[in-house]
Structure 1
Amino acid sequence: MEFVFTEEQAMIGETARAFFAENATSERTRKAMAATGQDAGIDRELWTAFCQELGLSGIGIPESAGGAGLGLVELAIIAEAAGAQVAALPMLGSLALSAQALAAGGSAEQQAAHLPGLLSGAVIAGYVHDAGITANGSSLTGSAGFAAHGSSAQLFVVTSNTGAWLVPADAPCVTVTPLTTMDQTRPYARVTLAAAQGEPLADPAAAIAAAHRAGFVAVAAEALGGAQAALDRTVAYARERVQFGRPIGSFQAYKHRLADLMIEIEQARSAVYWAACAVDEGSEEAALAVHAAKSFAADTFFLCAGNMIQLHGGIGFTWEHDAHLYFKRARAIQSMLGSGEWHREQVATMILGEVA
């Protein structure tokens, strides 16, 4: 099968890349990293421009729910462009996870009440998932760590093995505790529910399935964008840095490292867009593809970010260099939404069946 972007998809990608390259600068990202409270890890100006001026926040949401009516391929294109700049945005938790859950499993009333705020960027939602969260009627008890931008959220989409609910962040019996995290562009929080009142989503199974599919694809695409940017920046440095009277990129060992990274990235690209396309087309391979894409792309990003630091030499080891923004994001992506080992286990089970 030969996968080629349509003219519309190519235009979306070009627009998104230009937008993030111009606006998600290192200076602005570092300012967002230093922010505290509800602004921690968020470039508010960039978020408003992305949602309202660029109008791409509803890219993966059906038109019936107020979105653009496109699919996960287009969402992946946007996530890849954002990942290339390590943009400090709550896109993953608020749009790829929470908005997708609402669009797939919320009632018409729930969608009308919450999706406009999410898509405009006026409201930020956090996605909270833990199998240990229990429900007694509409009363929820349990806790979950690693809610992306949880301290900035006004609304939580809470899911477990037993259901899915909407919980306002300021509701009684809800405690949000910021966590110290490696990737300051995406800070996490622990959300604790002590008999908190939740509003059940109309179709919890559909909400959870849609959120996880979109989340896996979005974070894999983000990793792909980061990996490509890490390689591109390293290639640019290799052309400029001169050692022993010649650019360091002309040395064979250096070139071989870059070539190996390019091969890994191209494989990750195939995995990411295979997964996005499989979901959009309702393929039987979709479940397997999203696990493969997340695992492979995350590991590729980490490989490229580590090599970025090493191949930049001394400057790459300084905290002031942007290589560390990529490395921290890559390491965080490896751990979030399931480790690579867990995703590969899911793939193996789907192919081989349960092993005694």
Structure 2
Amino acid sequence: MTTYPRTAAGPVPADTDLLYSDVEDDLRKELRTLLTDRCPSADLPARAETEQAHDVGLWAALAGQLGVTGLPVPMETGGAGAGWRETAVVLEELGRAAAPVPYLSSSVLATAALLAAGDDRLLPEIASGNRIAALALPFSSPPDLPFPDAVEHTDGGLSGTVTSVAGARSADLLLVPAAGDDGPGLYVVDVAAAGDTVRRTTRCSLDLTRPLTDVALNSAPGTALATGDEAERVLRRALNTGAALLASEQLGVAQWCLSTTVAYVQERHQFARPVGSFQAVKHRLADLWALLMQARAVARYAAAALDAGTADAWTAAALAKAFVSEVVVEAAEAALQLHGGIGFTWEHPVHLYLKRAKSSALALGTADRHRAALARLVDLPAARV
């Protein structure tokens, strides 16, 4: 297992260096080599037609060969002892490959919840990648969501249905928010031990590389992870962490769209000239490059602020998710259009990147929802009608 030592600690200073460290560059290089070999974009359309919940071999390599499934988990708890900045680099590369693995759901959302709860019992297995966890909430849930009550907790267990859960189809463990007579709670459900009390139904989702699953619980046994106000705090932290780091995955998707399109318009000829030599195409790609540089800055700062636990971490998360969500969709739409006829075929992977871009823009809160949250965080008064 590769180890990733931290290069800095403490609060993020005002002049934070958002450039990638040597450690992060080395991590990116290893990841890109692995993903180029095991998950080339040309193979994505064929992979999307399979019924596998995720690429089992790729997940095993990420966990065992690179050890990136537990980056933010302390070494004494079985993790790599790195942080969210390094995790953001992994997400960039996974986004660039549109990799069909449950990294966001298990290594980010579920891991963030367990770290916030201070529960070390499950972290070693999740950090090692031997078990996969999922936060049982609709994938569209924003961080400012009122505590969900779709599942009820009683003495008989957990009962209710949660729709469109990311990563649930692969999950060995479900972290289930539930309401009960004693107030809100977050419970861990071992899917294998729960047997028939947990039923999972795969939905027809927009993003074929990230299946969504409906989870029905019928008196399922659950172990309390957090209750009361603590459960609300843990859930809010997990969703904010997920939103902040999803921006890095979106950045990777947008980067693939730009670099692949630039390469294509240099090769594709029209009127005996490369398509990329036309002024309209050059201007559009130049504008897109400028947007990507801005997106990289806000995504990198969101990860850095989250890592350091600064006071503006949630502000940075809302800004990153709001801004990068629109950039990634614009990049994917431009890629589809500038690829011309081939871009509209199933055989070319660009349509899968467009679907990943659009679904991620809806995930964990839309851009509008995060802009509204950002306005509240910075005390911006509401517009008068």
Q: Please give the secondary structure, in 1, of the residue aligned with 2:325.
A: helix
Q: Which has the higher helix share?
A: 1
Corresponding letter in the other structure for 1:131: P
**Structure 2 CA distance for partners of 1:157 and 1:195, relative to 1, 3 Å:** same
* Contact 1:48–1:120 under 8 Å retained in 2: no
Moved more, 62-71 or 179-188: 62-71
Q: Tell me which residue corresponds to 2:300.
A: 273
Q: Secondary structure at the match of 1:274?
A: helix
CA distance in 2, matches of 1:56, 1:332: 24
Q: Match for residue 188 of structure 1?
A: 212
Q: Which segments of 5 or more consecutive residues in structure 1 lack a partner in the other structure? A: none
Q: Deviations over 1:183-232 (max 9, x none)?
A: 11100001122332211115535532442233112311110000011000
Letter in 1 for 2:109: L
Deviation at 1:106, TM superposition (A): 4.5
Pairing 1:152–2:170 present:
yes
1:20 is aligned to: 35
Instruction: Find the aligned partners of 2:322 and 2:217 in 1 and give their Cα distance.
Output: 30
1:164 pairs with 2:179: no
Letter of the 1:124 counterpart: I
Query: How many pairs are equivalent?
Result: 349
* 1:50 has 2:65 as partner: no
Q: Distance in 1 between matches of 2:102 and 2:42?
A: 18
User: Is 1:293–2:305 an aligned residue pair?
Assistant: no
Greater relative contact order (Cα < 8 A, sep 6+): 2
2:132 pairs with 1:124: yes
Residue 29 of structure 1 contacts residue 43 of structure 1 at CA under 8 Å; is this kept in 2? no
- 1:177 deviates by 1.6
Aligned-pair CA distance for 1:339:
1.5
**1:107 deviation in Å?**
2.8
* Alignment check: 8 A CA contact 1:138 1:198 kept: no
With normalisation by structure 2, the TM-score equals: 0.85
The partner residue of 1:256 within 283, 288, 292 is 283
Taking only the aligned residue pairs, the percentage that are identical comes to 36
Structure 1 residue 308: Cα displacement = 0.3
Letter of the structure 2 residue corresponding to residue 154 of structure 1:
D
Deviation at residue 354 of structure 1 after TM alignment:
6.8
8 Å CA contact 2:254–2:327 kept in 1: the answer is yes
Residue 176 of structure 1: which of 190, 193, 200 is its match? 200
1:100 maps to 2:122: no
CA offset digits 1:7-35 (Å, max 9, x no partner)? 22222222222222222113553443222
Query: Match of 1:201, SS?
Result: strand
Cα distance in 2 for residues equivalent to 1:55 and 1:62: 13
CA RMSD between the two structures: 2.0
Q: What TM-score does the superposition give when structure 1 sets the normalisation length?
A: 0.91
What residue number does 1:306 align with? 333
Structure 2 match to 1:333: 360
Q: 1:216 aligns with which of 214, 236, 243?
A: 243
- After the TM superposition, which of the residue ranges 134-143 and 54-63 deviates more from structure 2? 134-143
